[in-house]
Amino acid sequence: MSAALTQREVDVAVIGGGPAGVAAAFAARKEGAAKVVVFERDWEAGGILQQCIHPGFGLHTFGEELTGPEYMDRYLKLARESGVEFDLNTMVFQMDPPTLEGSGKQASFWTMNPQRGIERVKAKSVVLAMGCRERPAGALGIAGSRPAGVYTAGTAQRFVNMEGFMPGKKVVIMGTGDIGLIMARRMMLEGAEVVAVFEIMPWVSGLRRNIAQCLDDFGIPYYLEYNVCELHGKDRLEGVSVVQIDKNRKPVDGTLRFVGCDTLLLAVGLIPENELSKMAGLKLDSSTNGPVVNEFLQTSEECIFAAGNVVVVYDLVDFVSQQGERAGRSAALYAMRKLEKGPRDFQVETSPEIRVISPQKLSGGEDVTLFLRVAQPVEGRCRLYADPGIYSQNLRYARPGEMNEVKVSAEKLRALPSDVNSIKIGLEVL
């Protein structure tokens, strides 16, 4: 067999059919891009929301509280009606650095599909929407044996909510990420016993309302500054050792104890999935672990845009969709050679109180919402600001588990003196 490799051309290619990708594709069509294709490796679009069957999605976007599949159903309808094409069962496995094409650049990547085999796609612009992955057990260095029964919370969520399997009967949860809390409740409802949740940090990393409605409602205890330090069991997990830790993350003498369980779920962080971004040669940010972007969600390669959890891990899908739409609109304009960047080139800098921020570059071309996470909780009045003097807002508190927003107009940015080339975002305790 020596069939010639198929080469396809599209205007806007969206990689990943989750909430960010679907919103981006919809917005790209709405903006006027002719051929918009979503490349999705799964058999259906929707991404992680298809397994997030709990309510709490869409309050910002649709003004009502929906479950994940319901939220996705609405967005998919919008995208299909607008003429977005979906390439399902299609994995993008290679991305090339963009090349010059006329007055701009052009992206190129490679896909694999069971029917059509390997194809090369050339796109006038691309939106990266690959989302994120869970930090796995192997990244934690837990001592002891390696029995069955240790899963990331999201894997367990897929088993229970989509495959119809229960991963275990007696569960310990490590970490207070939202998926772990949601799964604590889910496992209880499915008849499992959830013994406890242990968190290494002195604060909860998920939303506080999930502590209330997933743990407190069901009488599940949680312990802060506790580490799960050892796994026990030969074939199947029989229990874990936990130990209290001090401010320097050292074990506290006399606090080591055994907790019996057959299942350990890990909810210890999400990491943006940027293998393709690296292949394309994009500049990545070491604090967000995602591409460096500007207010158009344009990366360091002008024809490649990015949105959603591949850029920075968000708390709410509503923000992911919002950012998806922004990236899709920008990508469509770029494909039509109509994207006009602003006249300035600001680098966004942060004070030590801020741990992550996105976007990192601003050109004053469009009004922008900067999303940030503080490094440590501030339980009391504080002031979030953007210097020199373009934003100031008093807050009742600031917590790492809940993103903050800084909204800045393009007009204000453009009006800054010409010798200003950085914007400093900071937090001060009042």
Q: Which residues make up the interface to another protein (CB under 8 A)? A: 43, 50, 53-56, 59, 65, 67, 69-70, 73, 160-164, 189-190, 207-209, 211-213, 216-217, 315-316, 402
Residue 311 identity (one-letter amino acid)? V
Smallest separation, CB 269 to another protein (Å): 19
By beta-carbon proximity to another protein, the closer residue of 273 and 315 is: 315
By beta-carbon proximity to another protein, the closer residue of 167 and 342 is: 167
By beta-carbon proximity to another protein, the closer residue of 164 and 352 is: 164
The 8-class DSSP code of residue 250 comes to: P
By beta-carbon proximity to another protein, the closer residue of 160 and 335 is: 160
By beta-carbon proximity to another protein, the closer residue of 217 and 275 is: 217
Smallest separation, CB 145 to another protein (Å): 32
By beta-carbon proximity to another protein, the closer residue of 118 and 189 is: 189
Smallest separation, CB 46 to another protein (Å): 9
Dihedral of CA atoms 14, 19, 23, 25 in degrees, nearest 10, equals: 20
What's the rounded Cα separation, in Å, for the pair 250 and 246? 5
By beta-carbon proximity to another protein, the closer residue of 213 and 369 is: 213
366-405 per-residue burial string, b: 16 or more CB within 10 A, e: under 16: bebebbbbbbebbeeebebbbeeebbeeebeebbbbebbe
**Residue 138 — φ and ψ, nearest 5°?**
-60, -20
Residue 46's closest CA among 76, 87, 18, 25? 18
Smallest separation, CB 213 to another protein (Å): 5
**Residue 76 — φ and ψ, nearest 5°?**
-65, -35
Smallest separation, CB 35 to another protein (Å): 27
Smallest separation, CB 368 to another protein (Å): 22
Smallest separation, CB 344 to another protein (Å): 33
Residue 126's closest CA among 150, 154, 102, 105? 105
Other CB atoms within a 10 A radius of the CB of residue 290 amount to 29
Return the residue matching tokens 């070491």: 286
By beta-carbon proximity to another protein, the closer residue of 306 and 384 is: 384
The 8-class DSSP code of residue 29 comes to: H
135-165 per-residue burial string, b: 16 or more CB within 10 A, e: under 16: bebeebebeeeebebbbbbbbbbbbbbeeee
45-64 per-residue burial string, b: 16 or more CB within 10 A, e: under 16: bbbbbbbbbbebbbeebeee
Smallest separation, CB 323 to another protein (Å): 16
